[in-house]
Structure 1
Amino acid sequence: MSRNFPSAEVRPSLSALRLLAWPAYAGVLVWYVQTNGLPYANDVVFCFLIGALVAMAVHSGQRGGAVRVLRDWVPVMGAVYTYSLLRGYGAHTPWPVKYRPQLSFDTVVGFGQTWTVRLQHWLWTPGSPHWYDYAATTVYMSHFFVVFVLLAVFWKRQDRRFHRLLALYLAVTYLGFATYVLYPADPPWLTALDGHMPPVARIVQEVFEYTGVPRAGSVFENGSRFDNDVAAMPSLHAAYPMLLACFFWRGAGPRLRALLVAYPLAMAFTLVYGGEHFVIDILMGWLYAFLAHRLLTRYLDRRAARRGQLVQAA
C-alpha cells in the first residue's frame, strides 16, 4: 500500500511563508509609517498588534495559530472600537460642559494659579522644545501602546493574567465613558481657549508640529461621531498607569516597584504640563483605577476560589 507524502513543492512554499512572515509585516509597518505617520489611534494600533501576533503564529508554524489570534483578539478590538464610538456620542449630552469646579480645585492646589500655567511659564519655550518636552511626548504616546503590548505578551504566554488585565482595562475604560456622559468636562487647553484661564499650549501637539513627524489618523474612527474634547474627567491617560501599578505591585521587586511608581507620576506631570488635564482629572483617574482594581480583583479572586472548590469536590 502506498503512502501519500507531501509534495516537494508544498514544503518549500510553507517554509518560505514562515520565513517571510516577519519581513512582510515589517515592510507593511514601515510603508504605513512613511505614508501615513506614526500609528496611535486604537483601531490602527490593534490592526498592527493583531498583525504582529499573526506573523508570530505563521513564523512558528503553529497549526491554526492565525485563526486563534483572530478568534481571541478581534472581539477585544470590537470592544475598544465600541468604546470609541460611544465616547464620541458622549460629547453630545444635553447638560452643560463643566470647567469651573476643576479650575477652582486646581487654582487652590496651585496656590492661586493652575499648575498647568505655572509649569508652562517655567519650562515651555514656544517654538523651541527642550529635551524634557520630547520625553513628555514619549510618555504621553505610551498611553496608546503599553496596555495592549502587555496583553499581547500575556496572551502569547497563555498567562492567566491576560483575561484579568483585560477585564480591568475594560472596566476602567467603560467607567470613564459613563462619567464622560454624566459629567462632560473641559481640559485646560479648551478652558483657556474659551477665555476662562490664561493661554495654554498643547505641548505634545506642538512638539509633533515642530519636528514634522506626522501622526497617522484612524482608519475606522474618523468623523465627528468619534470626537470628544470634553472627555477629561477622569483622565484615562492617568488611570491606566495607575491600574498597571496596582496590577503588578503584589510580588514586584524593588526595581519594578520604582518603575510602577515613576510611570504614573511621569504621566501625571506630562498631562498637567502639556495642558491636557487638570490635576483633579488625574486624581480621579487614579481613584477609578484603584477602586476598579480593588473591587474587580476581589470578585475575580472569590470566583476563582469557588471554582477551585467545585473542582476539588468533583
Structure 2
Amino acid sequence: MTKLLSPAPPPPVRAGRLRPATAPDHRTGLSRLRLLAWPAYLTGFVWFLATQGMAFANDVVFLWLIGALLTAALHSGHGPRGFLPVLRDWIPVMAVVWVYSLLRGYGAHTPWAPHWLPQLRADEVLGLGETWTVRIQHALYTPGSPHWYDYAATAVYLSHFLVVFVLLAVLWRRSHQRFRQLLACYFTLTFAGFATYLLYPADPPWLVAQQGNLPPLHRVVWETISTMGLPQADSLLENGSQFANDVAAMPSLHSAYPAMLLFLFWPTAGPRLRALLVAYPLAMAFTLVYGAEHFIVDILAGWTYAAVVVLGLRWLRDRRADRPSPSGLNAHYTPDALAAEFRRLRESVED
C-alpha cells in the first residue's frame, strides 16, 4: 500500500511582515504629501503676489516665513510632528516683532517736537556746506525715469524687511546657538532704537525738505517702485508701514541691521563672506542717503548702536561662560572633562 505523503508545512513567517491585501499604504500618501509640499507653497506664494502685490509688513513676512518652515518640515518627512518645534520657536518671535511694530506706531505721538536741525547741520559739515543727499540726487536721479542703480537701490532698501528674518530661519535649521545669538542681537538693537525714538524723535531728510528746510528731494525707492508696474505696487508704502512712524530716523535701523550682521559674523567668516558683510552696510548707507531716507549722522548712529549691542552681548556671554559653577568647576567643562575631574578627585581621596 502506497504511503501518502503529507504536504510540506509552509515556511515560517516573521511576525509583523504580513499585511492584509486590502490594507492602505500610508507611506505612499505621506510621500505624495512630501512631493506636493513645496509646489503647493510656491503656488500660494505666487498667487499672493499676483493678487495682493508685494507686502512687506512684518506680520505678512513672518506668516510666509513660518509657512516655509512648516513646508520644509513636511517635505523632510517629519509630518505634523515636525510642526511643533516651528510653532514653539517662531510664534513668540512673531508676537514680539508685532508688538514692536505697534509700539513704534504709537511712538510717533511724543509730547515734544521732532528734531531735525542738529542732523542737518552735521550733514552740511560733512558735505562741506551742502548735504550729500542733495548733491547725489541732483547728480544721479531723473524723476519718472529710473536708472539701473535706482532699481539696485530699491532692492537693497527692501532687503531690510527680509534678510534678518531669512537668516534667522536658516540658522534655526542649522545652528540653534547662532540662531539665539542673532535673535538676541536683533531684539536688543530693535528695542534700543525704539527707546531712542521716544526720547529723540527725528525727521528724515525727505520730511525736512517737505517742510521747506531743504531743497526739494525725492523718495527714490518709493518713486521707483511706483514706476515698476507691479501689482498694487503703489500700496507697498502703506503695507510696509502699517504702524508707521515718520520721525523714527535716529538711529537708522536700516543701517544698524547690516552692521549688526557684520559685527556678529565677522569673527568666523571667510574672505568672501567678509567682503559681502562689508559691502552690504555700505550699499545700504548709500541707498539711505541717496533716497533721502536718512541723514549721514543717523547712519553713523545706527552703526554705533549695532557695535555696542553685538560686542556688549558677546562680552556678557563670554563672562558668563568663564564664571565658575557652584561646585568650583568651570561651567563650560564638557561632560568628559567633568568625569575625568571626578575620577581624579576620587583617586586622590583613596590615596
Does the TM-score normalized on the shorter chain lie above 0.5?
Answer: yes
Amino acid at match of 1:174: F
Separation in 2 of the partners of 1:118 and 1:298? Answer: 41
Q: Residue 41 of structure 1 contacts residue 218 of structure 1 at CA under 8 Å; is this kept in 2?
A: no
**What amino acid does structure 2 have at the position aligned with 1:48?**
W
Contact kept? 2:322, 2:332, Cα under 8 Å: no
Shift of 1:301: 2.1
SS at match of 2:107: helix
Q: How many residues align?
A: 312
Gaps of 5+ in 2: 1-13, 340-351
Q: Which moved more, 1:213-222 or 1:130-139?
A: 213-222
CA offsets, 1:103-157, max 9 Å, x none?
1111111111111110000000111111111110011011111111111111111
Alpha-carbon contact 2:124-2:131 (below 8 Å) kept: yes
Whether the 8 Å contact between 1:85 and 1:221 is mirrored in structure 2 is: no
Alignment match of 1:310 (pick from 331, 336, 342): 331
Q: Report what 2:264 is aligned to.
A: 247
Which of 304, 315, 339 matches 1:287?
304
Are residue 268 (structure 1) and residue 285 (structure 2) matched?
yes
Supply the distance in 1 between the matched residues of 2:120 and 2:95 (Cα, whole angstroms).
35
> RMSD of the alignment, in Å?
2.3
1:200 has 2:217 as partner: yes
Give a deviation string over 1:151-189, Cα, whole Å, max 9, x none. 111111134110001000111000000000000100000
Q: Amino acid of the residue matched to residue 266 of structure 1?
A: A
Q: Kindly tell me: are residues 218 and 266 of structure 1, through their superposed partners in 2, closer, same or farther at Cα, counting changes over 3 Å?
A: closer
Which residue of the partner structure matches residue 11 of structure 2?
none
Distance 1:253 1:141, change over 3 A: same
Deviation at 1:218, TM superposition (A): 9.7
SS of the aligned residue for 2:108 comes to: helix
SS of the residue 2:47 aligns to: helix
Distance 1:31 1:5 in 2: 43
Query: Are the counterparts in 2 of residues 43 and 220 from structure 1 also a CA contact under 8 Å?
Result: no
Give 5+ residue unaligned stretches, structure 1: none
Work out whether 1:93 is the aligned partner of 2:141.
no
Instruction: Tell me the amino acid that sits aligned with residue 266 of structure 2.
Output: W
Amino acid at match of 1:26: L
Asked if 1:38 is matched to 2:54, the reply is yes
Cα offset for 1:39?
Answer: 3.0
- In structure 2, relative to structure 1, the CA distance for the partners of 1:71 and 1:5 (3 Å cut) is farther
Q: Judge conservation of contact 2:137–2:290 (CA < 8 Å) in 1.
A: yes
Question: Against the structure 1 CA distance between its residues 60 and 77, is the aligned structure 2 distance closer, same or farther, given a 3 Å change threshold?
Answer: same
Corresponding residue of 1:112 = 129
* TM alignment of 1:55-94, pairs within 5 A: 55-62=71-78, 64-94=81-111
Distance 2:117 2:241 in 1: 30
Structure 1 residues 237-276: Cα deviation after superposition (integer angstroms, max 9, x where no partner): 0000000010111132222221111110100000000010
What are the residue-to-residue correspondences of 1:208-223 with 2, within 5 Å? 208-213=225-230, 214-215=232-233
Equivalent-residue separation in structure 2 for 1:38 and 1:177 (angstroms)? 26
- Name the CA distance, whole Å, in 2 between partners of 1:220 and 1:140: 15
Bigger Rg over Cα:
2
Q: TM-score, normalised by structure 1?
A: 0.93
> 2:274 — aligned with what?
257
Q: Deviations over 1:209-246 (max 9, x none)?
A: 111224466999875xx121100000000000000010
Matching of residues 149-160 of structure 1 within 5 Å: 149-160=166-177
Does 2:41 match 1:25? yes
Match of 2:5 in 1: none
Task: Tell me the amino acid that sits aligned with residue 70 of structure 2.
Answer: V
TM-score by length of 2: 0.84
The range that moved more, 120-129 or 34-43, is: 34-43
Classify the secondary structure of the residue corresponding to 1:197.
Answer: coil
2: CA distance, partners of 1:237 / 1:311: 36
Task: Show the counterpart of 2:63.
Answer: 47
Amino acid at match of 1:45: V
- Give the structure, 1 or 2, with the largest relative contact order (CA under 8 Å, sep 6 or more): 1
SS in 2 for 1:228: coil
Q: Displacement of 1:47 after TM fit?
A: 0.6
* Partner SS, residue 211 of structure 1: coil
